């Protein structure tokens, strides 16, 4: 019977396991003998020690007798030492010791003779003669003991060498078996997979016309099996992403929601700074999650565009405000916005995805531009078929992109280069997702760039015109205000099993004056709906006891349930979840985590209340590169040294204070070409920077030292090091004095 590849691999794996087991057992027995020899060596050492001690006792006994003193205690000590030696020889006679060193019996015989003569000396019988015999026996015993110890040492070394040789032999056998295993795997698995790949290539009619495929059997079955397996893997991956989305978005909902509430309280400047950092980090995390989910949808061909009416001009103006906020810390960069002159442009398309593409392009432009200007231009061209065509471009005067890098710019996980990734961060998915969205819009994302001269991204799309009365109002850079008098006439039911999310909903309802009641699962919600009449229900989807889908169906089955507006809440962001919620009885849908104004717009729409919009500055916090570096230094030192933030700040502030004059001296010495003065500063600086979490600058110091050892004076690199450190130290000192 022909063995399958899996059987061969299993047999080889069992062979490797058997060889390793034999090796371990063999080595264990050998090492056990080594342990026994070590124990015997300890016994020999103890016997020798007791022999020497007894010899001292006998000499002391002779002195006491000569002085006619009391011999009782010394005789007792001699007897006790003899008893100990007897006990030790009893141990030596055990089987395991005799098995490894049969010559131990000769020691026992010599001890018996020596003991007899020493007993006679101790008892005072013919002391002179027996002392001589005892000394001769002692010398013979020591010689025999030394011989046995040398024999024991050779055996011990021999066992160790044998263990090592056997281990090498067994390892060589296992290595050969492993090579055979790899060869079987390649021949039985990799090679057939390559054949399947070739078979799939034959699906191309042009390729099959020039190939002989008479030996190809059941190609259709192979393809069907591969497609089925691929679909199962894709479904499993999508389920995983959906589950992770829910698990991560649920706590983020509470974090982002309460950050908005916290921002409305009285905070001192330092607290506001911390709040901005937390808010920025939470939104960055949410942005990363959204990018991963979007990429998963793109891969599985499940990314679909919405078709709603909205004001594109309002969206574009809001994105200009967004870019202005990003540029507030870049005084050398100017934003130029060239938008259509129309007061409003109502179209039907997907505002979320259009905003996502524009935000990505604007964020990249701001990120990679240190001076000059960023031009955001949108041209609108009406068509005869009641559609509008748009040309969108974002041009900057930033670092630019080489031709080679442009070729892989729209591929997933790609950025211009590794140094860009380290300095600017990002998932590498933004442009890949934007390119896919533009493709769904009917256009193509294009790039034009030259290193050092800037970059221009552009795309075009068309959309039909929408009606003014059906447009969806977007939040953005506006604060939403609802009339309290109208809200007090309404009654809401808040349903969520997560205490944080429920508390967030309660807090928002309290702040706007909307009466409410809470439930922690779907069954409670159904019971409350049987008892009371609600105008609005916020229904979480994933809950214990009864989930949101079942609860909405039960509520819709109650009399007069058609007047209640149900808003489904869930952290899972897939379109099928939206459709499932709407099919179960929801009137609308809002994903977690949501922002306060987004929730208020949903409430206004559900209760037919006209909201008021107040232009405001959004809570946006963008760190400078120095602030990012300082934050990473804090994290590094907290993790490495386990000290408090206050202690870290004081240490770093002292470091900055100590090094400022040294950096000034470094610049002077470098400009004068005094290498002998520059080298010790760089050496000290390298160690200091590594200890406070600045490895890249420490590496730059080492590079400068290497060049200086060759007699060169890299002034540009030294000045870059000085300028970078000075900016970081300035930021450190500023943070210590905040608040």
- Using CB atoms within 10 A of its CB, is residue 61 exposed (0-12), middle (13-18) or buried (19+)? buried
Using CA atoms, how far residue 506 sits from 74, 571, 590, 637, in Å, is 91, 18, 17, 40
Per-residue pLDDT at 221: 61
The span from the CA of 321 to the CA of 533, in Å, is 42
- How many Cα atoms are found within 13 Å in the side-chain-facing hemisphere of 165? 6
Residue with token string 């991204």: 457
Q: Which residues pair with 455 in a beta bridge?
A: 396, 449
Selection from 715, 720, 723, 719 nearest residue 673 by Cα: 715
The beta strand positions in 364-435, using DSSP E, are: 372-382, 387-396
Selection from 693, 685, 695 nearest residue 722 by Cα: 685
Per-residue pLDDT at 539: 94
| Omega before residue 593 within 30° of 0, cis | yes
The span from the CA of 114 to the CA of 458, in Å, is 105
Residues 6+ apart with CB under 8 A from 708: 675, 678, 679, 682, 714
Residues 6+ apart with CB under 8 A from 79: 122
Q: At what angle do helices 219-263 and 596-606 cross, to 10 degrees?
A: 100
- H/E stretch holding 515 reads none
Q: Residue 335: helix, strand or coil by DSSP?
A: strand
The full DSSP string for 624-642 is -HHHHHHHHHHHHHHHHH-
Main-chain dihedrals φ then ψ at residue 392, nearest 5 degrees? -120, 135
- How many Cα atoms are found within 13 Å in the side-chain-facing hemisphere of 621? 19
Q: Do the beta carbons of residue 525 and residue 479 sit within 8 Å?
A: no
- The whole-number mean pLDDT for each consecutive block of 10 residues of the chain, a chain of 739 residues, reads 68 81 78 73 76 76 73 76 76 64 69 74 73 76 76 75 78 83 77 64 47 47 66 67 63 72 73 72 71 68 74 86 80 90 86 87 89 93 84 92 79 52 53 86 90 91 80 60 90 90 87 93 94 94 90 92 88 68 87 78 87 56 71 81 77 84 88 87 85 88 87 87 88 63
Q: Which residues pair with 481 in a beta bridge?
A: 612
Per-residue pLDDT at 585: 92
DSSP letter at 373?
E
The span from the CA of 495 to the CA of 477, in Å, is 29
The span from the CA of 439 to the CA of 458, in Å, is 12
Per-residue pLDDT at 149: 73
Q: Where are the alpha helices (DSSP H) in 513-547?
A: 522-531
């Amino acid at each position: 019977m022909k063995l399958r590849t899996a059987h061969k691999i299993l047999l080889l794996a069992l062979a490797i396991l058997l060889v390793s087991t034999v090796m371990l057992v063999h080595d264990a027995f050998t090492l056990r003998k080594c342990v026994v020899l070590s124990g015997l060596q300890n016994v020999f050492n103890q016997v020798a020690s007791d022999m020497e001690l007894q010899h001292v006792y006998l000499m002391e006994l002779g002195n006491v007798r000569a002085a006619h003193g009391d011999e009782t205690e010394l005789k007792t000590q001699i007897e006790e030492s003899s008893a100990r030696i007897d006990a030790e020889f009893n141990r030596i006679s055990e089987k395991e010791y005799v098995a490894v060193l049969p010559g131990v019996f000769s020691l026992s015989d010599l001890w018996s003779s020596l003991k007899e003569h020493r007993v006679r000396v101790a008892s005072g019988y013919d002391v002179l003669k027996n002392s001589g015999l005892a000394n001769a026996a002692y010398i013979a015993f020591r010689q025999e003991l030394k011989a046995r110890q040398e024999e024991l040492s050779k055996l011990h070394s021999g066992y160790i060498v044998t263990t090592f040789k056997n281990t090498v032999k067994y390892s060589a056998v296992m290595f050969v078996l492993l090579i055979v295993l790899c060869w079987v795997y390649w021949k039985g698995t990799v090679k057939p997979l390559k054949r399947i790949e070739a078979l799939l290539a034959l699906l191309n009619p042009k390729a099959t016309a020039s190939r002989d495929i008479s030996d190809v059997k059941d190609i259709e079955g192979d393809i069907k099996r591969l497609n089925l397996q691929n679909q199962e893997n894709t479904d499993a991956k999508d389920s995983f992403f959906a589950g992770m989305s829910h698990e991560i978005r649920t706590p983020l909902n509470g974090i982002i929601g309460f950050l908005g509430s916290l921002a409305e309280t009285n905070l001192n400047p330092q607290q506001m700074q911390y709040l901005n950092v937390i808010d920025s980090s939470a939104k960055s995390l949410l942005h990363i999650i959204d990018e991963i989910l979007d990429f998963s949808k793109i891969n599985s061909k499940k990314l679909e565009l919405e078709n709603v009416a909205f004001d594109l001009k309002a969206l574009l103006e809001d994105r200009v405000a967004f870019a202005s906020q990003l540029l507030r810390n870049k005084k050398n960069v100017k934003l130029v916005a060239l938008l259509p002159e129309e007061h409003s442009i109502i179209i039907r398309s997907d505002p979320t995805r259009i905003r996502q593409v524009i935000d990505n392009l604007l964020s990249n432009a701001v990120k990679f531009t240190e001076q000059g200007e960023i031009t955001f231009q949108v041209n609108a061209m009406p068509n005869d078929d009641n559609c509008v065509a748009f040309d969108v471009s974002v041009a900057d005067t930033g670092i630019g992109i080489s031709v080679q890098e442009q070729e892989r710019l729209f591929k997933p996980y790609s950025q211009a280069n590794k140094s860009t990734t380290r300095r600017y961060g990002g998932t590498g998915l933004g442009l890949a997702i934007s390119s896919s969205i533009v493709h769904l819009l009917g256009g193509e994302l294009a790039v034009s760039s030259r290193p050092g001269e800037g970059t221009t991204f552009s795309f075009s799309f068309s959309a039909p015109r929408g009606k003014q009365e059906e447009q969806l109002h977007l939040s953005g850079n506006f604060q939403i205000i609802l009339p309290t008098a109208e809200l007090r006439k309404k009654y809401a039911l808040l349903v969520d099993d997560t205490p944080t999310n429920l508390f967030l909903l309660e807090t928002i309802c309290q702040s706007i004056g909307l009466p409410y009641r809470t439930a922690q699962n779907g069954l409670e919600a159904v019971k409350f709906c049987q008892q009371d009449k609600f105008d609005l229900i916020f229904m979480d989807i994933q809950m214990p006891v009864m989930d949101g889908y079942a609860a909405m169906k039960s509520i819709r089955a109650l009399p007069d349930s058609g007047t209640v507006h149900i808003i489904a809440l869930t952290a899972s962001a897939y379109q099928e979840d939206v459709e499932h919620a709407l099919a179960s009885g929801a009137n609308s849908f809002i994903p977690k985590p949501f922002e306060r104004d987004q929730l208020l717009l949903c409430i206004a729409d559900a209760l037919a209340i006209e909201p008021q919009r107040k232009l405001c500055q959004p809570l946006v916090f963008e760190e400078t590169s120095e602030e990012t570096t300082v934050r990473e230094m804090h994290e590094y030192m907290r993790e490495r040294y386990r000290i408090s933030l206050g202690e870290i700040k004081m240490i770093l502030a002292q470091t900055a204070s100590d090094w400022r004059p040294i950096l000034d001296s470094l610049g002077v010495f470098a400009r004068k070409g005094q290498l002998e003065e520059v080298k010790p500063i760089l050496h000290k600086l390298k160690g200091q920077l590594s200890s406070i979490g600045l490895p890249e600058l420490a590496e730059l110091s080492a590079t400068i030292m290497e060049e200086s050892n060759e007699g060169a004076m890299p002034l540009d690199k030294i000045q870059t090091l000085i300028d970078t450190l000075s900016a970081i130290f300035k930021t450190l000192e500023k943070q210590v004095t905040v608040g």
